[in-house]
Structure 1
């Protein structure tokens, strides 16, 4: 048998009425009408005999479709002209009957329950009307008795709400936007738990719709978000499908991605029960503060946590007039990191007082985070380059209930001795089973350790780093170290534990003072090699030190003097 004509499509992928995109399932009825699951175009096409152009009966571009399709793969028309659609992407079987489109089975995804379908691929009916479905994502074939097992087997109820965004509507800054957008928040009162299909039509372009559970926080628009969609192709229409429960608080938010856009919109909802819409009054607007600056070769430098390379940074003091939630995001061509601190920022110990880390969820080279700030507290926002010698301009956008005071503050640069043979202060040794032991945590014995004398020739702030084959730990003591009392004479240190078992200590050391560095391990009975480097305003001489050896030498000297 050979093909002598093309029944549908042109052989070229496309979305026009005479073209198809990755067609999957087909069905031919008694009138030789051809139904095609046009998978790649997210629609079902009907081709009449001899007609090259198809009619969209469901999905994208359908004039009467009230349900959104995502990669339909199967299509069946029964004797009563009811249309069954197997939708791979939304994990459901959709039926078009006298009540319109509705979910028949599925939408609950992966699982073992009978109402759960995950990526169904094909289906078929037997003579008794039983439906068999390849539930591929759940690794099984399911059998359903028609109208006895259904996700929505009652009459469909339609609910309608109309709204208008005007120049008097409140504004906020959605999704890392530098410009404010008008929005309207509407409370949804659900009477019956069911799957509901929403169609949002508007005369505006670039519209967005969000459904929130238990309230909408315009200062943190990601909080409580249940589902969202948008008008991707500026078609003035988009769909939302969600399982909504009775006696649960839902808020629908309508907005745009472009600033100062106004116009009318219509929300239509189909489901088992009526949904009441009530506009939320007395909604407020979000205020945005903008800060622009740049990192240059004159900017101060510091060392990020566990980093061996210095990077330019800028510290920005943040003061809020009104307490509340504030969202920060940035725009720049640089790869960079951001941190926020409470009260003050210590560039020699960048972990101290830090409240929040960098979050690059906004843009490829941007960041976004939301944090509660109090008007009585000073905060420090630190922007630093990701790599050594990186410079460039950046902008910060802060959105919240009121304006924010942002001003640059100066810190002295943090310096480290470069690890070259001329200036390096280093020390290498090992802990063995012959090393001395003590109880480092005052609980477990047998921590091997070694004491090292530190001779300081210039007072200043120093960093001491360790590297080795084991996870090391270090403490610095003033004047002397007593292994029987390891808390005596210990200095208060800026301690930083780094990945891979290393550590870094920050401490201010004075000339003319005896310092003892005790090198040990995080766990008892561990041995291995270690390497110590120091950095600061000058070299530090590091020598092995033994208290018992010193006592012996002093005793010998006294004996010789007495003779």
Structure 2
């Protein structure tokens, strides 16, 4: 009877009154009392097990007895497991307990090695492996478990995993250790704060092979055994424990089967089931290899004690700010600096004050009452009645530690005691932590603020950035209050980029109280670093006023900034890549291509640009073919100019071919998402590099033609044609190598960046589970340079585009002026200016041609030097036209060099006539 706090029994035919078999008419925690008994189990001996829910324990009432014994839970004399509102209990044939731990959302059970969690071990929840408020449960004949999952409103079935246990092969190699527990042996409490003491002996277990081992004990007295990993602390007997067993499982002795590993220290503690009992015993270790059992000398710990008294004059604070709806601190506290003289593992024992235990907190280096979650090393917030908190923690001499003692109740005052145990003494010093400097900042997030993708999706959040400068290095706490909507604070070093919100972020300790629109943050700030404070809302498109208080060792400077500068990036929110300056054909066409659609379904721009590409290819190929036809004739190659022009004709053909390949590679790879990654990487790295190689070679070869003509004018009749041809062949061979070496950095730094756009999609038969899947995927060919390499790339760009123009222009001017001077010397009846005008009329095409060519190349230069992430979609036609125009010089070799020259034109006609004659014959 849960509300009457007792268990009654009676006959089914109701011929007699009900009889109380457990509990009284009053709730309580004494051994004969119950507090909300929720479930019972009666074994074959008619012993009664009660799930004493309100006392968080399992009580055993032997048949005919009204005084119970705690077998599981807080007050058990044995090491068991902590329970929270146990609802039901079952025993199996081996007397092992199975318990529904209602408030913890799990099913726990005892076994040969102690207690363990069976189901719901990964916190409460509604997923298939989780429980929430489990009540009753049962097993079927196959061992499958059925649980009434109360708060989830369902019955869960958990199948027996028949292959979940490893078969342990029996071994005959045994090691025996014998000893006697005497009155001279050290005593300890098997459970914390128990009044009973037990003699014990600690034996180190050393194995030489990773395997399963069986550990058994024999004696004429009732034994109890513990096995620990790494370390055994008599003051905290549950710390590092991996197995425990004894008479409480209805066995006269015990047996463990454990997997033991090499190079791991195990401690086997042998003690008695009843207190103050002595006697001889023997233990046996069975395994595939011999086990070493070595007696350990557990040195007695030195007890260091600190006593004090909390009064109304002490400072207050709240260890959990979200517990209070007011921003003011709640509990009295005292902060004590502890100094250890030796590195080691220490046990900290708090005291009980006014029948309620006092939680203890240990901080590393420093403690700030306004941000109590920062630097927190360990804590024990045990507020159970008659159960003081305890912490076992490793402390180092080189680190400062702060121990904070604070009662569970806001108004609690009085004396308290803190004890620390280890091999050396510890010093205590009360410290003042209330000194701090307050700085604040207030503003309003509205529709006028900037927007960014905080969650890396398509949700927009208003944000505000504040430049933060600390005057002194140290820990600072941030307290935010926003009445309309919860806000979040992020801190960045030097710069915040809304396209990459994770870059430059500083890790902070945070505690959000979204229920009352308050949050606390803590971070260590350096005075020589400028920080950016980002304030945004918890939910997208929300607006709110907010106030931020900053606590620290000194005031801080808070100044709002609006920074619109970002690096040029490609991709999407949180999935971006830094992109070097300049637009490429990939940038221009990327957003215009319709993915997974045929060419006839593409946009008008793609169709027109595709047609223009074909026309440029045809025109360029015919032009270059005619040039090759002209300059392959030996008559046109009597000097170096002819060789240069023949090489230029060939590079023009290759330039047009690579231009066409580049265009269709961009279009096809954007249209078809199934292109192999290897093809994408190969095309990305090679096509543009080869295009630039041929394009620059063509321009420099044309410049070499102009320089050759200038040299011939300068040398006059002394011009050596054979020497000219020798130098021409060398230059034609060296020029591509020099150009390639100047642009090799592009090949090394160009890469394929995969940009994925993810969306939600239901998964599973019932579509009850949703997950992120890739809905779209883009492959972007980009280059990323450092600033120094970017400067080098810009310089190379100017050299290859303006260098040939300057050589052409200077050569043309030299030809005109040099020729005029020679004529002026021979024909003195005309002035130099008259001869210059005559020369200009004769050779003006030499000046006009490079000017036209450089004007045609100017759009490419401008496109390559754009220093921002330009919105190409608004001016796609303009950028695409500029890109096409920049390749016109490559199709004008015939028009520029052959048509204006009578000798070259005559050579072309002869070559063409020869071919036609050959075809007729």
TM (norm. structure 2) is 0.39
CA apart distance, 1:209: 1.1
CA apart distance, 1:228: 0.8
Moved more, 220-229 or 49-58: 49-58
**Partners of 1:323 and 1:108 in 2: CA distance:** 41
1:69-468 alignment, distance < 5 Å: 70-71=82-83, 94=191, 98-99=196-197, 105-106=226-227, 108=229, 120=243, 123-124=246-247, 130-133=253-256, 145-146=270-271, 160-166=305-311, 168-169=313-314, 174-176=319-321, 178-180=327-329, 182-187=333-338, 196=347, 198-203=349-354, 208-212=359-363, 215-218=365-368, 225-232=376-383, 238-242=388-392, 251-255=402-406, 263-267=413-417, 269=419, 276=426, 278-281=428-431, 283=433, 285-302=435-452, 310-328=460-478, 330=480, 334=485, 338-342=489-493, 354-356=504-506, 362-363=512-513, 369-375=521-527, 378-385=530-537, 388-410=540-562, 426-428=591-593, 429=666, 430=669, 436=687, 438=689, 442=745, 468=777
Tell me the alpha carbon deviations over residues 410-464 of structure 1, each in whole angstroms, 9 at most, x when there is no partner. 55799x9xx9xxxx99344327566715499739769689xxxxxxxxxxxxxxx
- Find the residue that maps to 1:161 and give its secondary structure: strand
Moved more, 372-381 or 267-276: 267-276
- Find the residue that maps to 1:94 and give its secondary structure: coil
Moved more, 194-203 or 94-103: 94-103
Q: CA RMSD in A?
A: 6.4
**Structure 2, gaps ≥5 residues long:** 1-8, 12-18, 97-112, 118-188, 203-224, 232-237, 262-266, 273-280, 282-293, 573-588, 594-665, 670-678, 690-739, 753-775, 799-857, 902-921
Please point out which of 782, 792, 796 is paired with 1:473.
782
What residue number does 1:18 align with? 34
Larger radius of gyration: 2
CA gap of 1:255–1:540, structure 2 versus 1, over 3 A, is farther
What residue number does 2:871 align with? 535
Tell me the alpha carbon deviations over residues 162-194 of structure 1, each in whole angstroms, 9 at most, x when there is no partner. 223345546666455743464321426589977
CA gap of 1:302–1:447, structure 2 versus 1, over 3 A, is closer
Please tell me whether the aligned partners of residues 208 and 231 of structure 1 are also in contact (alpha carbons under 8 angstroms).
yes
CA gap of 1:118–1:41, structure 2 versus 1, over 3 A, is farther
Please tell me whether the aligned partners of residues 347 and 420 of structure 2 are also in contact (alpha carbons under 8 angstroms).
yes
What residue number does 2:796 align with? 488
- Find the residue that maps to 1:551 and give its secondary structure: helix
- Find the residue that maps to 2:226 and give its secondary structure: strand
- Find the residue that maps to 1:70 and give its secondary structure: coil
Structure having the larger proportion of residues in helix: 2
Tell me the alpha carbon deviations over residues 199-236 of structure 1, each in whole angstroms, 9 at most, x when there is no partner. 432359895411346x4443875566442122557x59
Tell me the alpha carbon deviations over residues 483-521 of structure 1, each in whole angstroms, 9 at most, x when there is no partner. x9698349xxxxxxxxxxxxxxxxxxx999711399xxx
**Partners of 1:317 and 1:335 in 2: CA distance:** 21
What residue number does 2:900 align with? 562
Moved more, 314-323 or 151-160: 151-160
CA gap of 1:35–1:408, structure 2 versus 1, over 3 A, is same
- Find the residue that maps to 2:542 and give its secondary structure: coil
**Partners of 1:9 and 1:512 in 2: CA distance:** 93
CA gap of 1:328–1:67, structure 2 versus 1, over 3 A, is farther
**Partners of 2:422 and 2:532 in 1: CA distance:** 52
Please tell me whether the aligned partners of residues 439 and 550 of structure 2 are also in contact (alpha carbons under 8 angstroms).
yes
CA gap of 1:131–1:392, structure 2 versus 1, over 3 A, is same
**Partners of 2:49 and 2:422 in 1: CA distance:** 28
Q: Which has the higher contact order (CA 8 A, sep 6+)?
A: 1
TM (norm. structure 1) is 0.58
**Partners of 1:402 and 1:132 in 2: CA distance:** 62
CA gap of 1:159–1:407, structure 2 versus 1, over 3 A, is same
Please tell me whether the aligned partners of residues 173 and 286 of structure 1 are also in contact (alpha carbons under 8 angstroms).
no
CA apart distance, 1:255: 3.0
Aligned length: 475
**Partners of 1:488 and 1:93 in 2: CA distance:** 79
CA gap of 1:300–1:326, structure 2 versus 1, over 3 A, is same
Please tell me whether the aligned partners of residues 24 and 38 of structure 1 are also in contact (alpha carbons under 8 angstroms).
no
CA apart distance, 1:381: 0.8
Please tell me whether the aligned partners of residues 18 and 54 of structure 1 are also in contact (alpha carbons under 8 angstroms).
no
What residue number does 1:458 align with? none
Please tell me whether the aligned partners of residues 297 and 391 of structure 1 are also in contact (alpha carbons under 8 angstroms).
yes
CA gap of 1:349–1:355, structure 2 versus 1, over 3 A, is closer
**Partners of 2:391 and 2:199 in 1: CA distance:** 12
**Structure 1, gaps ≥5 residues long:** 77-84, 450-466, 491-509, 519-532
